[in-house]
């Protein structure tokens, strides 16, 4: 599980850097500055959670079962939260109205919050 967490964290981190550069340079002339700020929020939260996966992958005090749960909570959260933010921020560039799926953003946020709460509970319950 550690290897999977580390690989996923590294992939999410790399994609964050790529999307951050794309947002700063490629989207600058295509969408409004408020939409760029929104896009950057998605990038920032994706990077935070890339670091979280890397942390979980190297910390020995998290049980394997908990690591698996955290992996899926974070991955689902990033896809729903950051993914929907990317879509909403670039909505003017497509023919599909991503505002119709905007309800998944807070659901993704709940997954991300749940991952942190689950980690806290794991640390509290863990006997070192």
Model confidence pLDDT, tens digit, residues 79-88:
999 999 999 9
64, exposed or middle or buried, with CB in 10 Å at 0-12, 13-18, 19+?
Answer: exposed
pTM for this model (two decimals): 0.93
Averaged pLDDT, 53-60: 95
pLDDT at 128: 66
pLDDT at 127: 75
Start-to-end Cα distance in the chain: 21
- ∠ CA 80-86-92, rounded to 5°: 130
Torsion of CA 78, 80, 86, 90, to 10 degrees: 180
Q: How far is it between the farthest Cα atoms of the chain? A: 54
Domain assignments of the chain as residue spans, ordered by start:
2-125
pLDDT at 116: 98
pLDDT: which is higher, 110 or 125: 110
Q: Mean pLDDT, the chain, as a whole number?
A: 95
């Amino acid at each position: 599980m550690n290897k999977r967490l580390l690989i996923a964290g590294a992939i999410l981190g790399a994609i964050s850097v790529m999307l951050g550069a794309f947002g700063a340079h490629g989207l600058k002339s295509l969408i409004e500055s408020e939409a760029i700020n929104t896009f950057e929020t998605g990038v920032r939260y994706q990077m935070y959670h890339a670091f979280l996966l890397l942390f979980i992958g190297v910390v020995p005090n998290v049980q394997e079962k908990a690591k698996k749960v955290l992996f899926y909570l974070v991955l689902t959260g990033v896809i729903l939260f950051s993914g929907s933010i990317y879509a909403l921020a670039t909505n003017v560039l497509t023919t599909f109205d991503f505002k119709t799926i905007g309800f998944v953003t807070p659901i993704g946020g709940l997954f991300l919050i749940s991952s942190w709460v689950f980690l806290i509970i794991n640390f509290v319950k863990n006997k070192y």
